[in-house]
Amino acid sequence: MIRALALLALLIGAWEAYCSLSGIDPLVLPAPHEVAQALWEDRGLLWDNLLVTAQEVVLGIGLAAVTGLGCAVAVHLSPTLRRAVYPLLVGSQTIPIPVVAAPLVVWLGYDLAPKLAIIALVSFFPIVVTTLDALERIDPDQGKLMAALGVPRLRAFRLAEAPAALPGAFSGARIAVAVAVIGAVFAEQAGSEDGLGHLIQQAIPQLLTARAYAAVIVLSLLAIALFGLLALAERRLLPWAHPGGGPA
């Protein structure tokens, strides 16, 4: 933690030094002290918009977790589905968000729905992949043990496999946090009246570059906080997944 802060201080110092020595236009790259000033002066504005974006991100990841878990389980249980769905899953990740954002706004309106759809779309993939990985890592002997007893496939899955999916879903959600925040910014810029992405979009043409940077910093802090909360929740809810202590 101390080392991370020291590195951060070093980077900020280098940034400040570059801005003052190069004479770069603060409208292109504001110095850290200007961003800090914007963080303080716009704190009310940033906070209100943070609440909007945080709600979108949390609900979007939640939606992705539910659908991702369901999809992973279905693919795990059906090899046919696996062959049919996996290429589509990978393909879905190559769609640039701004391209789909516009039609989603047209279909779903300006409120929460299109944002959730976009955030869930980008968060879905890491959750499906890590969940499937966790399910595939189950010892094949486990299946033999159940098969020898003639246990129906679904019951064997419920008893001996399903809980193994949960740590995978959690890892996927942690990976998804970063892309979910970026997804939220794009979604808000496609059509929105509030949120940090909207704030950034407004700030740049108003020549308030420092405010845009301040919003970016708030977004990063949101991602870090969500990542930490997910790690904490996993340790609480699934202590068996980390027998050696906490997650790394």
Partner 1 sequence: MATTLEAPAQGGLPAEGASGVGVRVDRVRRRFPGGRGASAVVALDDVSLHAAPGEIVAVVGPSGGGKSTLLELVCGLQVPDAGTVRADPAALMPQRDCLLPWASALDNAALALRAQGMPRAAARERARPWLERLGLEGFAHARPAELSGGMRQRVAFLRTLLAGRPVLALDEPFAALDALTRQDAQAWLGRALAEAPRTVVLVTHDVEEAVVLADRVVVLSPRPGRVVAEIDVELPRPRRRTDAAVVERRERALRALGVTS
The nearest distance, CB 163 to partner 1, in angstroms, is 5
Nearest 5°: phi and psi at 138? -60, 135
Closer of 128 and 165 to partner 1 (Cβ): 165
The nearest distance, CB 82 to partner 1, in angstroms, is 21
Which of 159, 225, 232, 233 forms a contact with partner 1 (CB under 8 A)? 159
Q: What is the CA 150 to chain-centroid distance, rounded?
A: 41
Closer of 69 and 199 to partner 1 (Cβ): 69
Which of 69, 129, 156, 210 forms a contact with partner 1 (CB under 8 A)? 156
* DSSP tag of 24: -
The nearest distance, CB 243 to partner 1, in angstroms, is 4
Closer of 142 and 220 to partner 1 (Cβ): 142
Nearest 5°: phi and psi at 5? -65, -40
Which of positions 213-242 make contact with partner 1 (CB under 8 A)? 238, 240-241
* DSSP tag of 16: H
Closer of 7 and 159 to partner 1 (Cβ): 159
Which of positions 96-155 make contact with partner 1 (CB under 8 A)? 139, 141-142, 144-151, 155
Closer of 159 and 204 to partner 1 (Cβ): 159
Helices (H), the chain: 2-22, 32-41, 43-77, 79-92, 97-108, 112-136, 140-148, 153-160, 162-190, 196-203, 209-237
Give the integer Cα–Cα distance in Å for 87 and 94. Answer: 11
The nearest distance, CB 167 to partner 1, in angstroms, is 9
The nearest distance, CB 161 to partner 1, in angstroms, is 9
Nearest residue to 185 via CA among 102, 123, 246, 97: 97
The nearest distance, CB 166 to partner 1, in angstroms, is 8
Give the type of residue at 210.
Answer: A
The nearest distance, CB 193 to partner 1, in angstroms, is 45
Number of residues that bind partner 1 (CB under 8 A): 21
Who's near 218: CB < 8 A, 6+ residues apart? Answer: 39, 46, 50, 196
Give the integer Cα–Cα distance in Å for 237 and 248. Answer: 16
Closer of 4 and 148 to partner 1 (Cβ): 148
Closer of 14 and 147 to partner 1 (Cβ): 147
Are residues 195 and 53 in contact, defined by beta-carbon separation less than 8 angstroms?
Answer: yes
Give the count of beta carbons closer than 10 Å to the beta carbon of residue 63.
17
State whether residue 233 is helix, strand or coil.
helix
Residue ranges that bind partner 1, judged by CB under 8 A: 139, 141-142, 144-151, 155-156, 159-160, 163-164, 238, 240-241, 243
